[in-house]
Structures are given as structure tokens and as C-alpha cells.
């Protein structure tokens, strides 16, 4: 099929630029100290033939329109997004969305406009690192009332972005990225080891939460923040950075505590059954696969939960705690990792809903709970959800 050939062409582009499409480092999974190497994935390979060629073409046209929209929204300094405090993470997600369609970073004279957009995004993110390694910081952002909350998301998402593009960039940028990531990893471990009151130590150790504000809701870790850090650590290991095994083990132990056996789904935190959303279910599943944790019954029940809560109504929340596009993003990644019936029943349905509600300019509506973030953020998440079949970003590969 033409669409399959186009996806193959994108892989050839990455190979020509020296980018690994395997999603893991070329070393044995048993090598000491490597804690985030996945074991054999699920045997249920996604059947792409369930989507007819006409729908593939519709999906690709939709993604290309959204890419054009995203490019038109880049700010003068290379960033994306409306609010200063959120721009680093939005920029990282937007650039990864472009890469997921095959638009890799390219500093050559013949680089496309899409590649130049990604390069400007890389330089912007690199410029937003605090002296202690925190990614996403700026003096102007500190004036925002939720600075400590947004910075932890900025740090993890920007860290993942930098490790994803590390092998795609020119030597000079790669050296800058290496220095930035090493500093970011040190801060990541420091925040993972932060003091936690004894009564919450067993429950919350291993995960991450907001900077300097861990007492909010009496939680010192949560799955929403922690899942981004698991992806950052796995991406860093894929790129060849040192991620000691204990970091991975502690983070996985926390994720597993967020699973509720009665409901058969992941929650916001251990015992927080009232904070169960489609995004958190997807985030938990993604963490399982990225860390190589095989739990067939857990996977089966989460897969059923995903299919029981489809995305048939655009921007509709199943409960007040939900973030719609965030859920679309995480569940699409989770469904791809699970493969088989889960992906085959989830992806076509989700894609139909999203494409039917795409705006004329190629973007999507603001997140229902976070309209102040603007349209770039939900558009980037939607592109990353629609491009899961391409498997071009190592962190999202099966």
C-alpha cells in the first residue's frame, strides 16, 4: 500500500541520519545496571490491515494539516505555547510531534522548514535550564502561581525530548544536549530521593511530584508526574546515558502501587480510586511496558478498561479529573504497546473521532480543563496519538 511505503520511507530517513529505530541500546538486556530494558513485548502484533487504505490516507492528511498548523504557531524564540510557565513542555511535545511524522532535526543547508522548526525548538529548550539542572526554568516563569507544579512537568518532558533527539543532531548540539541531560538526570534522582514523612514513605517512595510542594492532597508522589519521568529515564537509557537499575526499580514499584486490583485500572496515586481517568490508565500501562514488567492479568484488565471507555465523544470527560487530549495521547501509546485486539479496536475509533473534530486550520480545541494553555498543546498530543503506527520515536516503539 502507498501508506505503508510512506511509513517505510520515514524509517529510511531516520536510518540515513544515524537514528536508532530499535528503541533500545545495542547491548544485552541482562547487562548490570540497566534497569529499563523491556523484556519480550506482548506477542499480539498490531494488525494495521484493520484500517483501510482510504482511512490511512485520511489520517495522514489530517496529521500533515496539523503539522502545518503547529509550524505556524512557533514563537520568535523557537518556543510553542501561550503561557511562559508551560512553553518548555509544549515546545518539547510539539517538536516530538513533528519528528513522529518523519521531520527530524537537520542542520544542513538543505534542511526543510520542518527540520529548522525542530532545531529552533531544541535550542529553546536548552536555553531554559537552571544551574541545578532543572529544565524549563525562566525568571519570568517564577511569577506564575503554579510555577512549582509546572516546572516538574517541564523537566521530565523536556528531558525526554532532548534524549530522543540526542542521536539526531549535529555534534555541537549533541554535546550541549549531553551536558544538559546529565545535569537533568542528577536533579531527577535528587527529587526522587527527597524527604518524605515516615507515615507516607512506603506509599509514595519511588515516584515524583511537584517541586517543594509535596504535601498537596497529602501526596508526595503521583502517577501523572511519575509516568513522564519513567519515559524520560527510559529514553535516556535508550540514548546511552547512565540510568542505574535502582532508579528504575523504585519508580516501577511506585507505579505498581498505583494499580487498583478491585477496579482493574491505574489511579492517580495508591488508593486514590476517585482519581481514575483514561489518561492515568494509559500512563500506567505505558510504564509497565517501558520497564519490561510482565503482568498478564493486569494488562488484560487495563486493556478491557481502555476498550470499555472509548473516545467516541470529542473533548468529553468521563469524570471531573480527566484531561481529554492527554488521555488520547497516553491511551494510544498504551494500545500500541498492547497490540492485538486492544489496538485494533481502540485506534480506528479514536482516529475517527479526532479527525471528525479537527478545525479548518488543522488544530484541535483547547483542553477542556486547561483552556488557558491554548490549542498547540492538544494538537501536539493528538498528532502523537495518531502517529503511533509510524513508530519513529524510539520511546514509543514496541
Predicted pLDDT at 369:
84
Contact 204, 220 (CB under 8 A): yes
CATH fold of the domain at 2-396: Glycosyltransferase (1.50.10)
Predicted pLDDT at 153:
97
Cα gap 126→230, rounded to integer Å: 21
Predicted pLDDT at 322:
93
Predicted pLDDT at 339:
93
Cα gap 46→277, rounded to integer Å: 24
Beta bridge mates, 121: none
Cα gap 265→304, rounded to integer Å: 9
| 266-291 per-position pLDDT tens digit | 999 999 888 899 999 999 999 999 99
Grid cell listed for 39: 523484556
Cα gap 188→134, rounded to integer Å: 8
Predicted pLDDT at 212:
76
Contact 252, 223 (CB under 8 A): no
Alpha-carbon 110 to chain mean position: 30
Write down the pTM of the prediction.
0.90
Contact 278, 331 (CB under 8 A): yes
Domain boundaries, the chain: 2-396
Residue segments in the chain with a per-residue pLDDT below the cut of 70: 1-43, 213-216
| 85-132 per-position pLDDT tens digit | 999 999 999 999 999 999 999 888 899 999 999 999 999 999 999 999
Predicted pLDDT at 34:
36
* Phi–psi pair at 265, nearest 5 degrees: -155, 160
Amino acid at each position: 500500500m502507498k501508506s505503508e511505503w510512506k511509513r517505510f520511507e520515514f524509517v529510511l530517513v531516520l536510518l540515513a541520519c544515524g537514528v536508532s529505530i530499535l528503541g533500545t541500546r545495542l547491548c544485552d538486556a541482562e547487562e548490570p545496571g540497566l534497569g529499563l530494558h523491556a523484556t519480550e513485548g506482548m506477542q499480539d502484533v498490531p494488525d494495521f490491515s484493520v484500517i483501510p487504505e482510504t482511512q490511512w490516507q485520511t489520517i495522514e492528511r489530517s496529521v500533515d494539516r496539523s503539522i502545518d498548523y503547529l509550524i505556524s504557531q512557533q514563537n520568535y524564540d523557537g518556543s510553542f505555547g501561550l503561557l511562559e510557565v508551560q512553553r518548555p513542555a509544549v515546545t518539547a511535545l510539539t517538536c516530538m510531534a513533528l519528528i513522529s511524522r518523519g521531520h527530524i532535526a537537520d542542520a544542513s543547508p538543505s534542511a526543510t522548514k520542518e527540520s529548522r522548526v525542530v532545531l529552533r525548538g531544541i535550542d529553546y529548550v536548552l536555553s531554559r535550564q537552571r544551574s541545578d539542572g532543572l529544565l524549563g526554568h525562566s525568571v519570568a516563569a517564577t511569577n506564575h502561581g503554579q510555577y512549582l507544579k509546572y516546572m516538574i512537568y517541564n523537566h521530565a518532558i523536556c528531558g525526554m525530548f532532548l534524549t530522543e533527539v540526542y542521536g539526531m543532531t549535529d555534534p555541537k548540539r549533541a554535546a550541549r544536549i549531553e551536558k544538559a541531560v546529565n545535569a537533568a538526570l542528577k536533579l531527577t534522582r535528587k527529587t526522587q530521593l527527597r524527604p518524605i514523612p515516615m507515615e507516607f514513605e512506603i506509599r509514595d517512595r519511588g515516584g515524583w511530584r511537584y517541586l517543594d510542594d509535596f504535601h498537596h492532597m497529602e501526596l508526595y508522589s503521583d502517577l501523572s508526574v511519575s509516568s513522564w519521568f519513567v519515559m524520560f529515564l527510559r529514553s535516556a537509557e535508550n540514548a546511552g546515558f547512565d540510568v542505574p537499575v535502582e532508579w528504575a526499580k523504585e519508580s516501577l514499584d511506585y507505579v505498581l502501587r498505583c494499580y487498583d486490583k478491585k477496579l482493574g485500572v491505574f489511579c492517580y496515586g495508591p488508593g486514590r480510586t476517585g482519581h481514575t481517568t483514561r489518561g492515568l490508565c494509559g500512563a500506567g500501562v505505558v510504564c509497565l511496558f517501558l520497564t519490561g514488567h510482565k503482568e498478564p492479568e493486569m494488562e488484560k484488565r487495563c486493556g478491557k478498561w481502555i476498550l470499555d471507555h472509548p473516545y467516541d465523544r470529542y473533548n468529553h470527560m468521563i469524570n471531573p479529573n480527566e484531561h481529554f487530549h492527554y488521555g488520547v495521547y497516553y491511551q494510544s501509546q498504551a494500545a500500541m504497546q498492547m497490540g492485538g485486539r486492544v489496538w485494533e479496536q481502540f485506534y480506528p475509533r479514536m482516529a475517527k473521532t479526532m479527525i471528525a473534530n479537527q478545525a479548518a486550520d488543522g488544530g484541535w480545541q483547547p483542553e477542556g480543563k486547561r483552556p488557558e494553555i491554548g490549542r498547540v498543546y492538544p494538537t501536539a498530543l493528538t498528532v502523537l496519538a495518531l502517529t503511533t503506527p509510524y513508530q519513529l520515536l524510539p520511546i514509543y516503539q514496541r
